[in-house]
Amino acid sequence: MRISAQEGDVIVTHALGSCLGVAVHDPVACVGGLLHVMLPLSTIDPAKAQANPFMFVDTGFPELLAECFETGALRQRLEVRVAGGANSWNRGEDDFFQIGKRNLVVLRKLLWKNGLLLKSYDVGGTASRTMSLEIGSGKVTIKSGGQIKNL
């Protein structure tokens, strides 16, 4: 997880398969953060969550928000974008563990409780994604399957 208030910074995270990349940005304060979470709930390994809260959606996302607010972001101005949550198989039903979908369910719960809607999202499918956040502009770019797009 990285937070920045430096206008020229670009934060990038790679290999978003079933993991989620969550980008938050306050365009007025020029504060942004990018989180790469792997698993939905920290209850499966509380010790690991203590050591690395950013591994889990339920501990990582609140931490991302808290650090952004400490750095000067305001909730009502925050733009949230998410990418990733892919399936292991072409048909979602064949993906036995459904980690990608479950990561998204837990994230959506936390967004709702925190009074945040997604500005945009690129989730599902089977391809891996790379996500980058430009702190100056708030622009989020997704690279996947040889293609680049703005989110």
Active site residues: 19
The half-sphere exposure of 34 on its side-chain side, counting CA atoms within 13 A, is 23
Kindly state whether residue 113 participates in binding another protein, applying the rule CB under 8 A: yes
Amino acid at 55: M
Q: Taking the complex as a whole, how short is the minimal distance between the CB of residue 123 and another protein, in angstroms? A: 5
* Segment near another protein (CB under 8 A); pick from 8-16, 45-53, 64-72, 95-103: 95-103
Kindly state whether residue 100 participates in binding another protein, applying the rule CB under 8 A: yes
DSSP 117: -
Give the count of beta carbons closer than 10 Å to the beta carbon of residue 37. 26
9 or 95: CB nearest another protein = 95
In this structure, are residues 77 and 70 in contact, taking their beta carbons and an 8 Å threshold?
no
SS3 139: coil
Q: Tell me how many residues contact another protein (CB under 8 A).
A: 30
**Residue from 109, 128, 139, 141 that binds another protein (CB under 8 A)?**
109
> What are the tokens at 37?
């979470």
Cα–Cα dist 64/3, whole Å: 8
* Segment near another protein (CB under 8 A); pick from 22-30, 46-54, 60-68, 94-102: 94-102
Kindly state whether residue 145 participates in binding another protein, applying the rule CB under 8 A: no
Cα–Cα dist 87/118, whole Å: 21
Cα–Cα dist 129/119, whole Å: 18
8 or 91: CB nearest another protein = 91
Binding-site ranges for another protein (CB under 8 A): 40-41, 81-83, 85, 87, 92, 100-102, 104-106, 108-109, 112-113, 115-125, 151
